Structure 1
Amino acid sequence: MSPSETDDSLESFGADVGSKSGVLSGFREWFVVEGDRVAVAVLLSGVVLALLVVLRWLRIIAFTNPNSVTRVASGMIAGTFSLVTLVVSVNQLILSQEFSAAGKARDRLEGIIDFRRDVATTAMVPASPATPTRVLELLTESIRHDAADLANAVENSDDEIREPITRYTNAVQERTGRVDEVLEEGEFGSFTAISAAINYDEAWHLHVATHLRGEYGDELSPTASERLDELIDSLKLFGVAREQFKTTYLQRELTRFSQLTIYCGVPSILSAILIGLLYADFTGPSVSAAVLPSVTIGLIVVGLTPLALLVSYILRTATVTRRSASVGPMVPQKDPKEGPFDVSYGEER
């Protein structure tokens, strides 16, 4: 392995914690995943309000034709009912995952207990914490300590072995340290913790560790080989914990979205009905023509609130799912022609 290849092997081809290049990129990250979803929905509603006000001021749109306005109100009512139906379907999907027979519930519980026991053994603690965020913190600390122990175990090895492994362990310690800082600031249920877990590229680190073990396994000392295996086991546990954390978080997020949509759905339908009633009189709108545009714009914004919530929540859940769409050392966002680990059949022989 040449020095250039060694440098490439330490690159993260997934997401990177805290990497923001510029104000626009930072705002995009806040808008898509990091920002509070209610705040993002309010921002979207504010943009719609400003757009309607500007278009009205420029006389591009008007609210004088009753037929056009009532058609808009009818479309809003139909759209809101469709959205509520979608929310009910999402709730049914979430509830279906919670219903299980006694045998499945027992198997699920035993699996969680076994996993927590493995975490406690790896982190060398009496029992793993109950808080998922703290579990992730323990695993990142375990990964960092395993990487440091592996670096110490290869200090007396040949340069050909010591240099790539040392570069790799330095990268692992740097990134896990960054993840640990983010996790300490987050709480379970907040996106700070789940963002740190998802953006940590443990899949790539596991891939590199597996490659190093396959390439230098026969040349490593028994101590170094054992430390490398411990690091691989810790990375595997982190991947399992991340998937469990992500699943629980998405369930809570979608449930919260369902609640907010129901809360906003009734005012949305009422506002659309009021728009139709304002223009339903044969003598014209029932309010003064001076305030009619403002009232109509306000009711339209209220009617579009469920749509703003849908956009804000789907943006985050879809991004979380996309960024974590890898299991173990399978990195779908990685270009197969990139990286230093290009192998062919029978190369080991």
Structure 2
Amino acid sequence: MQALIVGSVERVAMSPSETDETLESFGANVGEQSSVLAGFREWFVVEGDRVAVAVLLSGVILALLVVLRWLGIISFTNPNSVTRVASGMIAGTFSLVTLVVSVNQLILSQEFSAAGRARDRLEGVIDFRRKVATTAMVPASPATPTRILELLVESIRHDAADLADAVENSDDEVREPITRYTNAVQKRTGRVDEVLEEGEFGSFTAISAAINYDEAWHLHVGTHLRGEYGDELSPTASERLDELIDSLKLFGVAREQLKTTYLQRELTRFSQLTIYWGVPSILSAILIGLLYGDFAGPSVSVAVLPFITTGLIIVGLSPLSLLVSYILRTATVTRRTASVGPMVPQKDPDEGPFHVEYGEDS
């Protein structure tokens, strides 16, 4: 497979599926069904509603406490132990609220800017939208970020089709790898377009589709093919390949903009929910202390005391569940988009069809 792409003299026969897989992408397969376990993990980490994930985590904690009490490992009869737990919950909740306030201040600091900086940001956005409109051949780029991504995906797919048509009469050594590459690009962008049409910016569908489309790998392949076969391509084919590469670059910029805007909204929403959930959490911890505060023992029946205490503990730990659910998504999104452009840090240096040596082009 390496000889098929890199070398123009020595060629190794590989199966079409294996070659297509290498040319297609190094990322996840957008829109393809995976195993139930992998699907649940993806939902739990990034795709699921964060409040639902937090509620699920609270339910798991509740089930764990019930099982541990049923096995006799824990109990709620010692007032000193329970009140110490309540004190720790109060301190932890205040620390969490302080952390959230700091994150919120960090987000707000990015929104405050002088007139000159605000003008530069505005000019940058306008220039980018102008390039999108020119690439997609529309009067003006849409206002919604999801629709901008859809236009760029359509532009990439059309550029790939035009490139395939342009190399149709070329030699087999040039036409075969480029056709496989363009077929893979059209296939992947078709899946992304289907996912984008079903989502909206308020949901995670759009950002998930943008992340899972590995345009960095397609950009890397296109750049390598241009350097490898640039002298053998016709002027039309060379121009079409450049247009495809430019569209892939614009998609990468649009994805970064969408990711930044989405994470700002996500962290702001997390700050609001933490305040909403933090007040009941502190009140529940205070109630636990008051339940065991009487010198004569707990102020409620011993038969119902474990259930009441367990419920209050779950409410007290709810901000922690919320924190875990949001950090899982934001950290995963940031990790999957850590690099910009044709850089794939998670890929092994020895993998892939493009093995090059110093001075090979000379």
Which TM bucket (shorter chain)?
Answer: over 0.9
Whether 1:226 aligns to 2:239 is yes
Residue in structure 2 matched with residue 73 of structure 1 by the alignment: 86
Decide whether aligned partners of structure 1 residues 136 and 98 sit closer, same or farther in structure 2, where only a CA change above 3 A counts: same
Between 229-238 and 328-337, report the one with greater CA deviation.
328-337
Give 1:15 deviation, angstroms.
2.8
Mapped contact 1:14–1:334 kept (Cα < 8 A) = no
Mapped contact 2:44–2:53 kept (Cα < 8 A) = yes
Question: Deviation digits for residues 194-251 of structure 1, max 9, x if unmatched?
Answer: 0000110000000000000000001100000000000000000000000000000000
The equivalent position to 2:53 in structure 1, one of 17, 36, 40, is 40
Residue in structure 1 matched with residue 311 of structure 2 by the alignment: 298
Specify every segment of 5 or more residues in structure 1 that has no aligned partner in the other structure, as ranges.
none
The equivalent position to 2:276 in structure 1, one of 242, 263, 274, is 263
| Rounded Cα–Cα distance in structure 2 between residues aligned with 1:309 and 1:20 | 28
Matched ranges for 1:130-145 at <5 A? 130-145=143-158
TM-score (norm 1): 0.98
The equivalent position to 1:151 in structure 2, one of 154, 159, 164, is 164
Question: Deviation digits for residues 3-44 of structure 1, max 9, x if unmatched?
Answer: 549546414222331344311111111101111000000111
Give 1:342 deviation, angstroms.
1.0
| Rounded Cα–Cα distance in structure 2 between residues aligned with 1:285 and 1:47 | 27
Mapped contact 1:70–1:275 kept (Cα < 8 A) = yes
Whether 1:199 aligns to 2:246 is no
Give 1:162 deviation, angstroms.
0.2
For 1:205, the aligned partner's letter is H
Whether 1:28 aligns to 2:28 is no
Give 1:344 deviation, angstroms.
1.1
Mapped contact 2:281–2:316 kept (Cα < 8 A) = yes
SS where residue 304 of structure 1 aligns?
helix
Mapped contact 1:250–1:317 kept (Cα < 8 A) = yes
Decide whether aligned partners of structure 1 residues 320 and 253 sit closer, same or farther in structure 2, where only a CA change above 3 A counts: same
Question: Deviation digits for residues 110-163 of structure 1, max 9, x if unmatched?
Answer: 000000000000000000000000000000000000000000000000000000
| Rounded Cα–Cα distance in structure 1 between residues aligned with 2:40 and 2:290 | 40
SS where residue 347 of structure 1 aligns?
coil
| Rounded Cα–Cα distance in structure 2 between residues aligned with 1:282 and 1:268 | 25
The equivalent position to 1:176 in structure 2, one of 174, 189, 214, is 189
For 2:224, the aligned partner's letter is H
Give 1:326 deviation, angstroms.
1.6
Mapped contact 1:15–1:323 kept (Cα < 8 A) = no
Question: Deviation digits for residues 164-223 of structure 1, max 9, x if unmatched?
Answer: 000000000000000000000000121000000011000000000000000000110000
For 1:321, the aligned partner's letter is T
| Rounded Cα–Cα distance in structure 2 between residues aligned with 1:326 and 1:19 | 24
Mapped contact 1:56–1:62 kept (Cα < 8 A) = yes
For 2:235, the aligned partner's letter is P
Mapped contact 1:8–1:340 kept (Cα < 8 A) = no
Between 237-246 and 326-335, report the one with greater CA deviation.
326-335
Residue in structure 1 matched with residue 249 of structure 2 by the alignment: 236
For 1:177, the aligned partner's letter is G
Mapped contact 1:16–1:201 kept (Cα < 8 A) = no
| Rounded Cα–Cα distance in structure 1 between residues aligned with 2:113 and 2:129 | 21
SS where residue 202 of structure 2 aligns?
coil
Whether 1:15 aligns to 2:16 is no
Mapped contact 1:8–1:339 kept (Cα < 8 A) = no
Residue in structure 1 matched with residue 10 of structure 2 by the alignment: none
Mapped contact 1:9–1:208 kept (Cα < 8 A) = no
The equivalent position to 2:228 in structure 1, one of 209, 215, 225, is 215
SS where residue 277 of structure 1 aligns?
helix
Specify every segment of 5 or more residues in structure 2 that has no aligned partner in the other structure, as ranges.
5-12
Residue in structure 2 matched with residue 321 of structure 1 by the alignment: 334
Identity %: 89
The equivalent position to 1:53 in structure 2, one of 31, 56, 66, is 66
| Rounded Cα–Cα distance in structure 2 between residues aligned with 1:214 and 1:94 | 42
| Rounded Cα–Cα distance in structure 2 between residues aligned with 1:195 and 1:12 | 16
Give 1:55 deviation, angstroms.
1.4
Decide whether aligned partners of structure 1 residues 253 and 242 sit closer, same or farther in structure 2, where only a CA change above 3 A counts: same
Q: Say what the alpha-carbon RMSD is for the aligned residues.
A: 1.1
TM-score (norm 2): 0.95
| Rounded Cα–Cα distance in structure 2 between residues aligned with 1:49 and 1:265 | 18
The equivalent position to 1:286 in structure 2, one of 299, 322, 340, is 299
| Rounded Cα–Cα distance in structure 1 between residues aligned with 2:25 and 2:347 | 9
Mapped contact 2:280–2:315 kept (Cα < 8 A) = yes
